[in-house]
Every structure is written in structure tokens, then in C-alpha cells.
Amino acid sequence: MKKWIALSLSLVLAFSAMSGALASGILSFGTGSVGGTDNVVLEALSSVVNSKTDLRTSTVTTSGGAEIIYLIESGDVQGGYSGTIDLVNAMNGEAPFEAPIAVENMLQGFGFVTWALPIVVLENSDIQTYEDLEGKHVGFPPAASSSTAAVNLVFEAYGLMDKCTIDYFTWSEGYTALKDGRVDAYVGSYANGAPISGIVEIEATNPIRVLNMSPEVGEQVKTMNAGVGTAVMTSAECATIPEGESYLAAANSGVVIFSANVSEDDAYLYTKTALESLEDLKAISTYFDKFEEVAMSVCVETIPFHPGAAKALKEAGLWEDRFTVYGE
């Protein structure tokens, strides 16, 4: 995997260098595919930080959280997004990681989202349960993304990995494929309870349904990776869930991470500006509406925080003593 990442990144950086996007002195943050929540959030954060401080930041689109951790390790980016599932896998040296990753390459800054990740189908589909996916054509987000890693565990728990055809798309391409009938199902993504843009767009003409994950599978997935939780969904999130009923979905959370090589002052300024600019960020995206609720609650207890980020969180009154600070 490292060789593939190095090759793909060399092409990205070569283009970026020509365009001036990664000028010297800029902190580069990795994001996932265009249209995903983390991409929108990291782009918004860079925009606000660049406009309100002397700190210069940029974003680099990657295949997802696992690749970003490798890119921080190699020094090609200084921070980015990671899913909680990736942090746990990286710490333990579990796939897609070839060996444990040092925490210096994934110090937590703050959480920004919990994604509910149900499988979604068009409302008129004959697929009613996860078991009905057997023999069907299912679309997943990019293969290296955190969301796909979480949904893979669900499919493994249901025994579906070898019983359906799986293809990988960007988020926007995947919902288009679902709408056009090129796939029978796709992965839904509800960020802090709100559907991502691709779902909003498809539902303008094609209502969708979410499939209900069993509690037993939810517990099994949690034992497979402690970074994957269970989200409860109701008609407030998806109108086709019957009123008064609750559906379950796998949940992965997004965390901004930093390299230990980022100075305490820079990580502090980045985090402090984010916390003090919530109204500006909410004006950019509804993904920030529950920012203060998830800034600490979704993070991983076994991964330390960057000292600069911890300082800003403590000043804002958000810090929780169950977490640790790198170097302390």
C-alpha cells in the first residue's frame, strides 16, 4: 500500500507544485474525496483560518483517512482528517496498515463529525434488508476511505463480502449511479444527523430508504474495531423511516489530526480559530451545527492530543480529562 500511496501522491504533489498550491511555509491538510463531509469541513477550516490569521493552510485531496496518516508519516502533509476507525487500525497495525503507526503521526486536534453509514436504496427497490443485498450490485465510497472500512465490517458480519458485486465511486458519482440504476444500493452518509449533499440531490427526484442494521451485527462490528460505533436513525434523518421507529447504522467519526512536527503555536492557532469562528463556519456548511458537541466526544481515548490543540480546547472549556496530551 505504501508504494501505491507514494506513487499516487508524487503525481498529486507534482501537479500541485506546478500550480503553486503547496507553496513553502503552508501547512497542508489531507482530505477525502470531493463532496464528502471531511472535504467540505477541511476546505472551510482552511478558508477561515487563512482569512483570519497569518497561518497559511492548504488542502490536498486523497483517497481517505488511512492514506492521510501515511502522508503525515512521510512528511508530505502536516495534518488532515482521519476516521476513528483508521486511528484504531493505525495504532494496532491492522489492515490497511502494514505495521503500527507512531502516535506522533496522528495526534488528535478535535472531532468534527459522526457519520451514520447505512446502506441506502431507492424507495421503490425490492431490497428490504441487508440479507436482500445478496446477488446485488452495491456501490461503496473509495476503497481506501474510512467509510468503506466501516461498511466492510458490516458486510463481513453479515457474510456478504463474497455474495454481492461491489464497485467503488466518489460520493457524488455513487449517488448518480444509484439514481441511474447502475447500482442497486449505495452507502448513505448522515453527518451529525444531516444527509450529505449527494443524498439531498438524489432525494429531490428519487426518495431513498435506509436499511436497518441488526443490534447483534452492531455489537459484532464494535468488537472488530472499537473506533466504529452505532448510530440511531429516525424519520428526522430519513423521511422513509416509519414514524416512531428507530433504525441502526454503523457509525464512524471524523477527527482533525496533526503531525507532532506542527508547532504548538500553529496547532493552537488553527484550533482556536476554528472554535472562535463557528458562526462563519456554520454559514459555509450545516456540518458545523453540532461542532461543539462532537469536538471532544467522538475522539479516541487511546490517541493523545496535540499540545496546541489541547490548549485551545481547555481555554474553550471543552476539554475532557479522560484524554491525554502528547508529551505530558
128 lies in the same domain as 224: yes
| Residue 326 placed within a domain | no
User: At which of 221, 252, 283 does a domain end?
Assistant: 252
Q: In whole angstroms, what is the distance from residue 45 CA to residue 85 CA?
A: 22
User: At which of 214, 229, 252 does a domain end?
Assistant: 252
| Residue 323 placed within a domain | no
Single-letter residue type at 319:
W
Percent of the chain residues topping a pLDDT of 90: 77
Domain that holds residue 206: 116-252
| Residue 8 placed within a domain | yes
Q: For the ranges 33-42, 151-160, 184-193, 248-257, which has the lowest average pLDDT?
A: 33-42
| Residue 328 placed within a domain | no
User: What pLDDT is recorded for position 3?
Assistant: 43
Q: What is the mean pLDDT of the chain?
A: 90
269 lies in the same domain as 286: yes
Q: For the ranges 30-44, 67-81, 108-122, 293-307, which has the lowest average pLDDT?
A: 30-44
| Residue 322 placed within a domain | no
User: At which of 203, 229, 252 does a domain end?
Assistant: 252
Residue 10 near residue 40 (C-beta atoms within 8 A): no
62 lies in the same domain as 13: yes
160 lies in the same domain as 41: no
Percent of the chain residues topping a pLDDT of 70: 92
Is residue 4 scored above 70 in pLDDT? no
| Residue 324 placed within a domain | no
123 lies in the same domain as 238: yes
Grid cell digits, residue 63: 483517497
What string of H, E and C letters represents the secondary structure of the chain? CHHHHHHHHHHHHHHHHHHCCCCCCCEEEEECCCCCHHHHHHHHHHHHHHHHCCCCEEEEECCCHHHHHHHHHHCCCCEEEEEHHHHHHHHHCCCCCCCCCCHHHCEEEEEEEEEECCEEEECCCCCCCHHHHCCCEEEECCCCCHHHHHHHHHHHHHCCCCCCEEEECCHHHHHHHHHHCCCCEEECCEECCEECHHHHHHHCCCCEEECCCCHHHHHHHHHHCCCCEEEEECCCCCCCCCCCCCEEEEEEEEEEEECCCCCHHHHHHHHHHHHHCHHHHHHHCHHHCCHHHHHHHCCCCCCCECHHHHHHHHHCCCCCCCCCECCC
pLDDT, tens digit (0-9, with 9 covering 90-100), for 247-282 = 999 999 999 999 999 999 999 999 999 999 999 999
247 lies in the same domain as 274: no
Specify the number of domains making up the chain.
Answer: 2
User: What pLDDT is recorded for position 15?
Assistant: 37
Q: In whole angstroms, what is the distance from residue 258 CA to residue 198 CA?
A: 29
Q: What is the model's pTM?
A: 0.78
- Residue 56 belongs to domain with CATH number: 3.40.190.10
28 lies in the same domain as 139: no
